[in-house]
Structure 1
Amino acid sequence: MPEPPPPAQPSPPQNPHEAVAPTGSGGAADLAMTEAETLEGGGRTAAGNVHNKPRSLWSDAWRELRRNPVFIISAALILFLVVISLWPQLIVSTNPLHCELAKSQAGREPGHPFGFDTQGCDVYARTVYGARASVTVGICATLGVALLGSLVGGLAGFFGGWADALLSRAADIFFGIPVILGGLVFLSVVTSSTVWPVVGFIVLLGWPQIARIARGAVITAKQHDYVQAARALGASNGRMLLRHVAPNAVAPVIVVATIALGTYIALEATLSFLGVGLRPPTVSWGIDISNAAAQIRNAPHMLLWPAGALSLTVLAFIMLGDAVRDALDPKLR
């Protein structure tokens, strides 16, 4: 008599988690199975989307800046100014120091779209070449102010105590010096016609503003938990300041320095207008505005173009600073 066939074995489940809970095992097993499936699906998602990492403050700021038309317009204008400052011969072929008295205060003519000044110099060439001095003063002064102010303010805010009191009182002394009066006194004894005396004067009187901003940002940053944890792990003061505090306190300094750059360009033009800033033969918007002020009724074009270029440059840097401030401040988004 043949043996009866063995009972059919159930086919293995397609999902290995189906074998965990038998039929009718209850809510606890179903919950465990659901959680396992969720974890497995999340693992697959994380493995397939490794690039979806939390963005930093700087990546978020750059993403906001790229969408801001104010930033795009101001950055394009500033890039154009930097390019013509480095290579003015790209858009002008006339020597700004070549003058013809026979064309004094003459209007526009072919090849000279802005006319001529009192000495017969090409206003267009002088306007283009004048960007070099203004942009150089603005960028160099801003870098010097940012470095000196950040160093003094960062040390004062991080160490506190007598160091904070000493450095803060030193900043208050320089804050009390009027900028224009100080420029008239300090630069009147300088005989150099280069941009460096003006840059040094701006750095000398401009660093206290950045120092106050940096001091407040460092005091706020050093109270965070990650700084206290680094201190508890035995990190040195230099390591905490450079690796943990400074990167998280630099954003306000960048915003203020960007806005101040346009202010420094306007300050250089003001000092040059008063005769104590840049001096001939240096080509400067402030010098041209000073020379054109007395002839504004007879030849307004002498004043219009350099003053317009100065105003547009200052406006571009202020707009850039506002856009950077909005991007770096999460509260303004």
Structure 2
Amino acid sequence: MDEGAALELPYGGTPGGPVGRPRSLWSDAWRELRRNPVFLVSALLILFLVVISLWPQLIVSTDPLACDLGKSQQGSEPGHPFGYDTQGCDVYARTVYGARASVTVGICATLGVALLGGIAGGLAGFFGGWADAVLSRTADVFFGIPVVLGGLVFLSVVTGTTVWPVVGFIVLLGWPQIARIARGAVLTAKEADYVQAARALGAGNTRLLLRHVAPNAVAPVIVVATIALGTYIALEATLSFLGVGLRPPTVSWGIDISNAAPQIRNAPHMLLWPAGALSLTVLAFIMLGDAVRDALDPRLR
């Protein structure tokens, strides 16, 4: 086949074969993810965590709040493989039920951060001017607040036994990071030739933003948000450990780790299992974020 004939083949076509449709970034990314063992392992582990968060009764039949002081700090026994904590509660049941709070906080906080930061940063980057200046200065203020110190102050005032105060705090301090990522991605996308061509053909700002800029600027936001999800789960456990995050009777890995820390020498199993579950969960989400980043960034292939 000569050079002229080769130039006439559409993208994805082969000589003598059917013409294929051009592959998009998302189809290429999905193809890379399916072949990445890191993604498969982390996705299966996260799926398992989500399932037991929704239906913990599938793998445990013990009430995590049912305690027997007569079995305080006892080791494993048939039907209770992780032993008992200081109050005589089943550590296995509390470890399983603790996944619900951590996964709920991580997913809800990530969605809130991605929506708030993505919309604010995207609009500021697209329109520029005073909106961009206000966003940048506001983000600088929030970046200057230490996360743990901010949590101690904010959550000591906004009390509650549900996950929503913790989610609200994470969204409050987490959106500036996503906003900056979204702003930079939009600034790059809106200078592309296809956007300038659409503008020259009379496309309005709404159509440009929704049809041309946003779909090509959302990938960095997804990558950063996916990696940050594991960080938010660890932050919830840290705040609960310090006594300002989730509070009893909510079952949380951070609460169990805090209660087990003084007894680590006498009953290390109380600390081992919730801390191991927390570490495995954070690792799974960070591995998933790394795999998504590698798939969505063509320069890393």
TM-score by length of 2: 0.95
Q: Which amino acid aligns with 1:92?
A: V
Task: Name the counterpart of 2:169.
Answer: 201
Task: Name the counterpart of 2:276.
Answer: 308
Indicate yes or no: 2:52 matched with 1:90. no
Indicate yes or no: 2:43 matched with 1:78. no
Task: Name the counterpart of 1:169.
Answer: 137
Q: Distance in 1 between matches of 2:283 and 2:36?
A: 16
Residue by residue over 1:221-247, the C-alpha shift from the partner in whole angstroms, topping out at 9 and shown as x without a partner, is 000011111111111111101110000
Q: Distance in 2 between matches of 1:332 and 1:129?
A: 38
- Describe the shift of the 1:161–1:45 C-alpha distance in structure 2 as closer, same or farther (beyond 3 A): closer
Secondary structure, counterpart of 1:252 in structure 2: helix
Q: Distance in 2 between matches of 1:329 and 1:45?
A: 26
Structure 1 residue 42, shift from structure 2 partner: 7.3
Which residue among 49, 53, 65 is the counterpart of 2:18?
49
* Greater displacement, 174-183 / 260-269: 174-183
Q: Distance in 2 between matches of 1:45 and 1:162?
A: 51
Residue by residue over 1:281-330, the C-alpha shift from the partner in whole angstroms, topping out at 9 and shown as x without a partner, is 00000000000000000000000000000000000000000000000000
Which residue among 205, 220, 226 is the counterpart of 1:258?
226
Residue by residue over 1:129-169, the C-alpha shift from the partner in whole angstroms, topping out at 9 and shown as x without a partner, is 00000000000000000000001110111111211111111
Q: Distance in 2 between matches of 1:277 and 1:210?
A: 23
Indicate yes or no: 2:242 matched with 1:274. yes
Q: Distance in 1 between matches of 2:141 and 2:129?
A: 19
- Describe the shift of the 1:42–1:231 C-alpha distance in structure 2 as closer, same or farther (beyond 3 A): closer
Q: Which amino acid aligns with 1:110?
A: P
Q: Which amino acid aligns with 2:220?
A: P
Matches within 5 A, 1:140-155: 140-155=108-123
Identity, in percent, stands at 86
Secondary structure, counterpart of 1:77 in structure 2: helix
Residue by residue over 1:254-276, the C-alpha shift from the partner in whole angstroms, topping out at 9 and shown as x without a partner, is 00000000000000000000000
- Describe the shift of the 1:47–1:242 C-alpha distance in structure 2 as closer, same or farther (beyond 3 A): farther
* Greater displacement, 131-140 / 155-164: 155-164
Residue by residue over 1:89-140, the C-alpha shift from the partner in whole angstroms, topping out at 9 and shown as x without a partner, is 0000000000000000000000000000000000000000000000000000
Task: Name the counterpart of 2:93.
Answer: 125
Indicate yes or no: 2:265 matched with 1:297. yes
**Runs of 5+ unmatched residues, structure 2:** none
Q: Distance in 2 between matches of 1:235 and 1:56?
A: 23
Q: Which amino acid aligns with 1:309?
A: A
The structure 1 segments of at least 4 consecutive aligned residues displaced by more than 2 Å after TM superposition are 41-48
Q: Distance in 2 between matches of 1:235 and 1:163?
A: 22
Which residue among 34, 55, 63 is the counterpart of 1:66?
34
Q: Distance in 1 between matches of 2:75 and 2:14?
A: 70
Q: Distance in 1 between matches of 2:216 and 2:93?
A: 44
Secondary structure, counterpart of 1:188 in structure 2: helix
Task: Name the counterpart of 1:321.
Answer: 289
**Runs of 5+ unmatched residues, structure 1:** 1-33
Structure 1 residue 45, shift from structure 2 partner: 7.0
- Describe the shift of the 1:126–1:45 C-alpha distance in structure 2 as closer, same or farther (beyond 3 A): closer
Q: Distance in 1 between matches of 2:57 and 2:29?
A: 36
Task: Name the counterpart of 1:283.
Answer: 251
Task: Name the counterpart of 1:20.
Answer: none
Secondary structure, counterpart of 1:151 in structure 2: helix
Task: Name the counterpart of 2:191.
Answer: 223
